[in-house]
Structure formats: structure tokens, C-alpha cells
Amino acid sequence: MADLFLAYQSLFAFVGINALLALSVYATLCCGQLSLANAGFMALGAYTGALITLRAPSVPFLFVLAAAALVPALVAVPLGLPVLRLRGVFLAIATVGFGEVVRLFFVNWQFTNGAMGLVAIPQRTQLWTIALALAVALFALGRLHGSRTGYALEAIREDETAARTMGIYTTGHKLAMLAAGAALAGLAGGLEAHFTFMVAPNGYGFGRVVEMLVQAVVGGTAAFYGPAVGAAFLTVLPEALREAGARLGLAPGPFRLLLNGAILLAVILYLPNGLVSLPATFRRRARRPA
């Protein structure tokens, strides 16, 4: 068992990091907002944490992670005030633009070594650190579900105009969830930077945020833990089927994209509420008369 754990240590770490990223997307989806700025927020958190560690190695890792989460959350507030007035595809395009601005900023900022990024970052992230961060995030979102704020977010998701008519401060709720999602993405970025030894701008492009969104949708956004389930499933499955992909002559990258696309299509067609709806679906079919 110990040998198995050591062999798949990196896989377990990326399951937790991807789960945090999927939950960061869920934070805005739960109030009906399709924000795709999470790759940019992740880059801000990763570079913030890496710069603090490289310039001030004596700073405790807890404070490094706190800064990695706080900086994107602070940036999300002025970004959200104008951007959250948009809806649907317009909001998605605007937030994608923000992510690209952040990526290009780091590509051209020589202080962070431009497109080459930062290397030789001390490996301070441990598996228990990722597990603790994920547990805290799930606990917070679980407490939110069923609370007065949670009901307000559901009302905004179903009909924002009606929610505003009932006296719900929709702008404040949407802004708070955008900042919460930014903090989760920044925290995941800080954890990843201190696990992989490096950060580079190309790791935070549009493809990364699409991956987060696919994991959230596959897992299911009807339950707060659904995105974490989807992230774990889509992280582990390509590794489990790596040998099958090699036999088909597919490299790991294209094989992962092909598998993710096929799973997303199947979930949208047959499980609109994601993988977390599978138990309820099986129970309904079991009760159905022959």
C-alpha cells in the first residue's frame, strides 16, 4: 500500500489541485455566472506565492498560501464591478479576455523571466496540505448550501430580476462569489507552483480554464461536491487508460483531450446533472416497473 501511494503521489496531488480549480468555477456557476477568468486568477496566485518564496524564503508557507489566495481575490473586486453587469456569453468573453491579459503580462514582464517563467521553486507543498485546503473549501461550500446566502444564490441563478425584486442584493452576492472563486484558483496556483518547482505563463492559457469548466460540468454543478468528483474522475481516468492510448498510437496530451471531449458529450446527453446524479438515476430505474 505504501509503495502504491509513493508511485501515484503526483496523481493524488493533481487530483486535489484540479478539484480546487473546479470548485473555483463552481463558485460563480452556483449563482448563474459563467466566469472564465480562473486561469488568470490561478496565474496571479502562482506567481505571488512563487515570488514570495524565492525572495523571502523565511516566510512561513501558510502566509505564502494566504497571499496567493488574497491577491486574486482583491483583483476580482474591481474586475467584477463592471464585468458582472454582463451576462451569458458576453461575460464569458470578457473574463476570457482578462485571463489573456494576465497571461500576456507575465509573458512580457522581465522581473518574472518573461515567457520562460520562474524555476527552482522549493517544493513546499505536501499531500496533506492539498487535502486540508480541499477539505476546507468543501466544508465552506457545504455550509453555504442550505443557508440563507445559499438560497439567495439559487434565486439569482434561477431568475436574477425576480431575486432583485425580492430585495436580494444581487451585485454583492455575485461579487462575493467571484472573489471566492478567485481565492480558490489562486490557492490552487500557489499549491501547484510549490509542487512542480516552476511556473510559466503558457500553463495558464485558455485551455486550462476550459479544462476546469469541463471537470465542473462532468461532475455536476447541482451539488457543491460535484466539481470535485468530476475533477477526480477526469484526472484519474486518462492515467488509468494511458496504456490503451499508447496502443492506439495517441500521445498522452491528445489522448486526454479526446477522452475529455467524449466524456463531456456523453454526460451532456445522458447525465445533464453530472456524475453525482448517477445514484438517483439508478434508483429511479430500479423502481421502474418491468
| 49-58, 79-88, 133-142, 271-280: the lowest-pLDDT one | 271-280
The whole-number pLDDT of residue 87 equals 84
pTM: 0.91
Percent of the chain beyond pLDDT 70? 91
Spatial separation of the C-alpha atoms in residues 44 and 73, rounded to whole Å: 10
pLDDT band at 44 (very low <50, low <70, confident <90, very high): very high
Q: What is the Cα–Cα distance from 32 to 155, expressed in whole angstroms?
A: 9
C-alpha cell at 163: 431575486
Confidence of residue 272 (pLDDT cuts 50, 70, 90): confident
DSSP code string of 160-229? HHHHHHTT--HHHHHHHHHHHHHHHHHHHHHHHHHHHS-B-GGGGSHHHHHHHHHHHHHH-SSSTTHHHH
Is pLDDT of 277 > 90? no
The yes-or-no verdict on residue 39 having pLDDT over 90 is: yes
Would the pLDDT of 287 be above 80? no
| Secondary structure class of 241 (helix, strand, coil) | coil
Q: Is the pLDDT of residue 40 over 90?
A: yes
Q: Which residue matches cell numbers 448563474? A: 32
> What is the per-residue pLDDT for 141?
92
Note the pLDDT of residue 253: 63
- The class that CATH gives domain 9-287 is mainly alpha
Cα angle 225, 102, 50 (rounded to 5 degrees) comes to 75
Of the pLDDT bands very low, low, confident and very high (cuts 50, 70, 90), residue 139 is very high
Angle between the 148-158 and 127-144 helix axes, to the nearest 10 degrees?
80
- Band (46; pLDDT cuts 50, 70, 90): very high
Q: Dump pLDDT digits (tens) for 221-268.
A: 888 899 999 999 988 887 777 666 566 666 666 667 777 778 778 887
Domain ranges of the chain: 9-287
Task: Show contacts of 55-61: CB within 8 Å, 24+ apart.
Answer: 57/122, 61/124, 61/129, 61/194
- Are 183 and 73 in contact by the 8 Å Cβ rule? The answer is yes
34 exposure class (CB count in 10 Å sphere: 0-12, 13-18, 19+):
middle
pLDDT exceeds cutoff 90 at 18: yes
What integer pLDDT is reported at residue 136 of this predicted model? 95
Provide DSSP, 44-98: HHHHHHHHHHHH-TTS-HHHHHHHHHHHHHHHHHHHHHHHTT--HHHHHHHHHHH
Distances (CA, A) of 286 to 77, 270, 280, 281, 283: 48, 17, 10, 9, 5
pLDDT digits (tens, 9 = 90+) for 165-204: 888 898 899 999 999 999 999 999 999 999 998 999 998 9
The answer to whether 49 touches 266, Cβ cutoff 8 Å, is: no
Cβ atoms within 10 Å, residue 98:
19
Section 65-75 average pLDDT = 96
Query: What is the number of residues in the chain?
Result: 290
